[in-house]
Structure 1
Amino acid sequence: MARNQKGYLADLLADEDAPGVDSSNDETSARATPPARPDRMRGNTLLGRETALARVATGEVRQVTQMLLDPARVRVWSGNARLYEHLTEDNCRELIDSILAEGGQKVPAVVRRVADDPAHDFEVIAGTRRHWSISWLRRNSYPEMQFVAQVAVLDDEAAFRLADLENRARTDVSDLERARNYAAALRQHYGNHMTRMAERLKVSKGWLSKMLKVAALPDMVVSAFATPSDIHLKPAYALAQLLDDKTRAAAIVAAAKVLAKQQAGRKSSGEPALAAPEVFRRLHLATQNTADASEPFIFQSKLGRTALSVVSSNRQGVTIRLHAGSGATEEDLLRGLREALAYLDDTGRNRLR
């Protein structure tokens, strides 16, 4: 998109500034004066301008100016699906290295002006990772780095669609982040009319319906996963359907509380987090009758192998299995036992009390 904009906007600005394009800012990249064109080419130029204008003036994009900005003066638009607080040096490392190798940011972000915030002049519509990476580089030995952006005039609905188009191509924007972004946009931009929203986004109504269902997952259930990126549409939609039943929902939330504690404990001790498939399995298992659940709880070692599992819990007591070859230490097994008992307590299956 950035390259196409650059090409046809260059045509528009070849002889004179296009009406409405902001070129007064001191940070605007300088443009070389183009050579005069022969008269025989002016007809083609005008035709090209009409085509370019038709592509630009689609009803929402009316102005574009490429600028070099201080990222500290640029905020991130709240309507974007990507959660800025989840960006880290690790998950932006490839982009950071690319910016360093190329001597700066080569692909412009898309921003729009803000007038209601004395601390910021612009907000990012598309290019959140680029903004985070440039900000990080400026704090870490590269204060000269500039945030390259194209300034566009967009209403909120157009900004949402533009950000969504970019995020669809990004594997690091989770289905849950996008789903919740859609749910907010449905209320804010489309008057809760899902059919209209699907038409504007050019997606199927059925697919959008599933995304909105996933958006309703309770925060407690989400906390059972190591990160939001673990929550993918297909298994999350199946889980969300189970939550429609109040009894099952209560069991899932109770299991999620236990899983959240386990994930926090594993993180603090440097152990690998429980993988998403295992979390989904345990949450589904929580909705089943105890007699039908062969292993309602599994504790894994640092090697990712099953070290301890709850085989059964009934009136006769609780049967726990310690698995050979897991690589777990005695301390690991004791922690696993405590987690297992906590799980049984929270799910009402502890027959030892």
Structure 2
Amino acid sequence: MARFIRDILATLSHEPAGRGPPDQQALSRLDQRLAPFADKGPGSRGTISIQPDECSVWDGNPRDQPGLTADGCRSLIDSIASEGGNRIPVLVRLNPPGSDRPYQLLVGSRRRFAVDWLNHNGRPEMRLAALVVDLSDEEAFRLADIENRERADISELDRARSYQHAVERFYGGVQSRMAEALTLSNSQLSRLLALAQLPEEVVNAFATPDELRVRYSEILTPLLRRPDQRARMIAEAQSIGEQQQALARDGGRMLSPATVLARLRDAATPQPLEEARDMAIVAGGARIGRPRPGRSGGLTIDLSISEDADLDELLARLRETIVAARAAPVMQ
């Protein structure tokens, strides 16, 4: 079994997606390789039958365990219920002596959750089909990464944070070693690690962490390197986060990722006062107004708003103009 799993580690990351018979192409590549072990149910080819609560979840897996819900796993729950068990076995290893549970789950968090949910909702006889493997922590991390790269419910932020933890834990802080082990380029890994290192205030500015993308960190990270820009961006991020919380409480539509990104980027490079006064306000690709000096030294803004205007974008553009004017030095 150990040789089979290590063969997967050596070859699977180079295989094209969708390989295998048509009835298996909806499975991940790792699942396709594990499927034959469950063809005849628990007990075949080394598969054992265990209760979900007999295994703890290994802390090196990037999946957000508390984030698993019955609604999110509904199709899997229904499939396991109709088939009388999980068709694809989970992978576990023995816990050290003295542990409160005999097994440690390495791969198959959603399947474990689904069977556990069924046990507590009318199917107490259901058991979890599992393969016991003997892998090091680094091998277990690579195997979990192979599975999770193809899962839509693993956010880019979750994956990035697991990589940040793993580079120190398994690869001595050497990014090139980790990139080689995971068959990633050094630039791919660097971009993921940059996402994991975004300040928490910036993360909280987005409606949900799932909205954060590697391409956003490529825009924001260079701006965050300068102390003066970083301070303004974090202040803006805190303001956006408070606005998002208020919108959530009131049942309003949360600010879009594009709006958040634009506000953070613009906060890093505020317009001088005179430029802000001369700057056209553009929303939805059309000019909707222009600020001009007010009688008391502030700004007067004239707007022309269509009936189908996006109010979130409109308010974001207005706010950017006002913030830019306030942040600019007073012109003599």
TM-score range, shorter chain: 0.7 to 0.9
| Pick aligned residue for 2:162 from 175, 181, 184 | 181
Q: What is the CA-CA distance between 1:117 and the residue it aligns to?
A: 6.4
Of residues 127-136 and 251-260 in structure 1, the stretch that sits farther from structure 2 once superposed is 127-136
The corresponding residue for 2:189 is 208
Q: How does 1:1-353 map to 2 (within 5 A)?
A: 1-2=30-31, 4-5=33-34, 7=36, 29-31=42-44, 65-115=46-96, 118-291=99-272, 315-317=297-299, 319=301, 323=305, 325=307
Q: Secondary structure at the match of 1:133?
A: helix
Cα gap change, 1:196 to 1:5, in 2 (>3 Å): same
Assess if the C-alpha contact under 8 Å between 2:90 and 2:108 holds in 1. yes
Q: What is the CA-CA distance between 1:322 and the residue it aligns to?
A: 8.8
Q: What is the CA-CA distance between 1:324 and the residue it aligns to?
A: 5.1
Q: What is the CA-CA distance between 1:169 and the residue it aligns to?
A: 1.0
Per-residue CA deviations over 1:133-155 (Å, capped at 9, x if unaligned) read: 22233333333332222221111
Q: Give the TM-score normalised by structure 2.
A: 0.72
Q: What is the CA-CA distance between 1:4 and the residue it aligns to?
A: 3.5
Cα gap change, 1:137 to 1:237, in 2 (>3 Å): farther
Q: What is the CA-CA distance between 1:327 and the residue it aligns to?
A: 9.5
2:97 and 2:236 mapped to 1: Cα distance? Answer: 44
Q: What is the CA-CA distance between 1:350 and the residue it aligns to?
A: 11
Q: Secondary structure at the match of 1:148?
A: strand
Of residues 274-283 and 93-102 in structure 1, the stretch that sits farther from structure 2 once superposed is 93-102
Assess if the C-alpha contact under 8 Å between 1:225 and 1:274 holds in 2. yes
Per-residue CA deviations over 1:13-64 (Å, capped at 9, x if unaligned) read: xxxxxxxxxxxxxxx9445xxxxxxxxxxxxxxxxxxxxxxxxxxxxxxxx9
Cα gap change, 1:95 to 1:326, in 2 (>3 Å): farther
1:285 and 1:178 mapped to 2: Cα distance? Answer: 28
Cα gap change, 1:235 to 1:313, in 2 (>3 Å): farther
Q: What is the CA-CA distance between 1:89 and the residue it aligns to?
A: 2.9
Assess if the C-alpha contact under 8 Å between 1:198 and 1:208 holds in 2. yes
2:124 and 2:281 mapped to 1: Cα distance? Answer: 53
Considering only aligned residues, what root-mean-square deviation do their CA atoms show, in Å?
3.9
Unmatched tracts of structure 2, length 5 or more: 1-29
1:127 and 1:205 mapped to 2: Cα distance? Answer: 28
1:29 and 1:101 mapped to 2: Cα distance? Answer: 16
Partner letter of residue 223 of structure 1?
A: N
2:263 and 2:50 mapped to 1: Cα distance? Answer: 48
Partner letter of residue 281 of structure 1?
A: A
- Identical residues among aligned pairs (%): 32
Q: What is the CA-CA distance between 1:2 and the residue it aligns to?
A: 4.8
Q: Secondary structure at the match of 2:258?
A: helix
Assess if the C-alpha contact under 8 Å between 1:282 and 1:296 holds in 2. no
Assess if the C-alpha contact under 8 Å between 2:50 and 2:130 holds in 1. yes
Partner letter of residue 316 of structure 1?
A: G
Per-residue CA deviations over 1:239-263 (Å, capped at 9, x if unaligned) read: 1222112122112211211221222
Cα gap change, 1:101 to 1:269, in 2 (>3 Å): farther
Q: Which has the higher contact order (CA 8 A, sep 6+)?
A: 2
Cα gap change, 1:238 to 1:286, in 2 (>3 Å): same
Cα gap change, 1:143 to 1:326, in 2 (>3 Å): farther
Q: What is the CA-CA distance between 1:321 and the residue it aligns to?
A: 5.6
2:76 and 2:327 mapped to 1: Cα distance? Answer: 48
Q: Secondary structure at the match of 1:286?
A: helix
Q: Secondary structure at the match of 1:267?
A: helix
Q: Secondary structure at the match of 1:183?
A: helix
Cα gap change, 1:70 to 1:257, in 2 (>3 Å): same
Assess if the C-alpha contact under 8 Å between 2:91 and 2:130 holds in 1. yes
1:97 and 1:327 mapped to 2: Cα distance? Answer: 43
Assess if the C-alpha contact under 8 Å between 2:35 and 2:88 holds in 1. no
The corresponding residue for 1:43 is none
- Count how many residue pairs are aligned between Structure 1 and Structure 2: 288
Cα gap change, 1:295 to 1:327, in 2 (>3 Å): closer
Q: Give the TM-score normalised by structure 1.
A: 0.68
Cα gap change, 1:126 to 1:9, in 2 (>3 Å): closer
Q: What is the CA-CA distance between 1:214 and the residue it aligns to?
A: 1.4
Cα gap change, 1:118 to 1:285, in 2 (>3 Å): same
